[in-house]
Amino acid sequence: MKRISILKNPILEYAWGSRTAIPELLGTEPSDTPQAELWMGAHPKAPSEIRNGSQWESLLTQIENDPADILGSAVARKFGNRLPYLFKVLAAAEPLSVQAHPSREQAREGFARENRLGIPMTAPNRNYKDDNHKPECICALTPFWALNGFRNIPDMLWLMGSACPRTLADELAALGNQPDSDGLRAFFHTLMTLTPERHAEILAEALDNAQMLAQGNPIFKWLLRLSRAWPNDIGVLSPLFLNLVCLEPGQAMFLPSGELHAYLDGVGIELMANSDNVLRGGLTPKHVDVPELLRVLSFAPRELEILLPERVSAFEGKYPTAAEEFDLSVIMVREADDEAAVFTNSGAEILLCTDGAVRISGSGDAEELPVGKGTSVFIPARVREYRISGQGTLYRAAVSP
């Protein structure tokens, strides 16, 4: 593969998706069904397609046929001949499940174990769809509400104590006596394994108190909203023990393996290691495996870090993350720019235009490829350098050098 090419990307439909957000980006009519995720990449579950002559062909197939040429020999060697990242547009009209992703070692062990047990890949109780970890970065295109990581324990005790002072008195006292990661693990394990009768009692008290506390407080407002969607789910309490954040457009956050989180509302660009492994803990009709979730979770409370792009050139800002599989950056070009926007490609890249209209050409190409809002392109390793002109905003997924 020697040229920059337009991608044709699959859209995944889940109940929490938006009927308008992805169609608006793509310039199509609103959907009759919820459209949750636009996938750009080469994951076996839903690979993008790329034109091969007069035919559309799976990007996954093309990479499998010639990994060194498309990915570059260094990337192909390091990542087992696979595109190491998956690029998405995520459109949440309703909250996603509370979830976490395993580390690479946990994923390899879990995937092998479920294979030995003969659990079909499509079985509803299957936790591991592949053998890879899934660190990820989410960047807001609209105001984007999310939960990310355990709160510090003093705040958690105050919030949980305000909502459930009677029904969780003993459990909160135990956490107060051991306000560390071990105490938090014990508290969360207890919360996740209580009887349905106790769950109902706890939620009833929490909702009564939240009604009085919600005025001007988004934490309790979200508790009430979650309760309307999932009235009998202990995950309704998640805003009390997880950090609640609203990312403004252009802000991002990084989620390492083992971090409990949930995306609640909004549209964002999501870039992750090429995996679909999810361990769920609530707010979902899907399989919840509490022992496995507890095995992968990090119980270290932390302050939430909001990421902003760090300028690397006149046209590009890169979001700082700890992932070895990917870099996420934002590119902004304007017709009035005095100098050309030229970029070096160290491996396979995907660009998504989210605003405006630009022209992209590889080094040595006489022809410029027109790229408008909602269009994505794949840049193979053979294209060592490319130029962007016009006026627009693009998000760039690249392999971390």
**Was 136 annotated as part of a binding site?**
yes
Distance CA 266, CA 261 (A): 15
Give 400 or 151, the one with higher predicted confidence.
151
- Shortest CA distance to 48 belongs to which of 3, 10, 85? 10
Whole-angstrom CA distances from 22 to 27, 140, 265 are 8, 14, 14
Instruction: Please state the rounded mean pLDDT for residues 7-36.
Output: 96
**Was 391 annotated as part of a binding site?**
no
User: How many percent of the chain have pLDDT more than 90?
Assistant: 87
Catalytic residue among 82, 151, 225, 280: 280
Query: Domain-by-domain residue ranges, the chain?
Result: 310-398
Contact status, residue 125 vs residue 119, Cβ threshold 8 Å: yes
Whole-angstrom CA distances from 373 to 138, 314, 328, 351 are 19, 21, 18, 11
Active site residue 113: no
Give the DSSP letter string of 262-326.
Answer: EEEEEEEEEEEES----EEEESSSS---HHHHHHH----------B-PEESSSSEEEE----SS-
Q: What is the predicted pLDDT for the residue at 3? A: 87
Q: What is the predicted pLDDT for the residue at 366? A: 67
Is the pLDDT at 8 greater than 70? The verdict is yes
**Was 99 annotated as part of a binding site?**
yes
Q: What is the predicted pLDDT for the residue at 177? A: 97
Instruction: Please state the rounded mean pLDDT for residues 12-17.
Output: 95
Q: What is the predicted pLDDT for the residue at 337? A: 77
Query: Mean pLDDT, the chain, as a whole number?
Result: 94
Is the pLDDT at 2 greater than 80? The verdict is no
- Reported as half-sphere exposure (CB side, CA atoms, 13 A), residue 257 has a value of 17
Q: What is the predicted pLDDT for the residue at 54? A: 79
**pTM to 2 decimal places:** 0.94
Q: Please state the CATH superfamily assignment of the domain spanning residues 310-398 in this structure.
A: Jelly Rolls (2.60.120.10)
**Was 101 annotated as part of a binding site?**
yes
Is the pLDDT at 256 greater than 80? The verdict is yes
pLDDT in tens, 26-57: 999 999 999 999 999 999 989 999 987 778 99
Which residues, 6 or more positions from 257, have their beta carbon under 8 angstroms from its beta carbon? Answer: 100, 101, 102, 103, 104, 106, 133, 134, 135, 296, 298
E strand residue ranges, 151-223: none
pLDDT in tens, 76-116: 999 999 999 999 999 999 999 999 999 999 999 999 999 99
pLDDT in tens, 288-341: 999 999 999 999 988 889 999 999 999 999 999 989 999 999 999 998 776 779
E strand residue ranges, 109-179: 136-140, 144-150
Q: What is the predicted pLDDT for the residue at 339? A: 76
Confidence of residue 276 (pLDDT cuts 50, 70, 90): confident
pLDDT in tens, 127-142: 998 898 989 999 999 9
- Shortest CA distance to 399 belongs to which of 339, 340, 328? 328
Confidence of residue 347 (pLDDT cuts 50, 70, 90): confident
Report the relative pairing of strands 144-150 and 261-273 from DSSP bridges. Answer: antiparallel
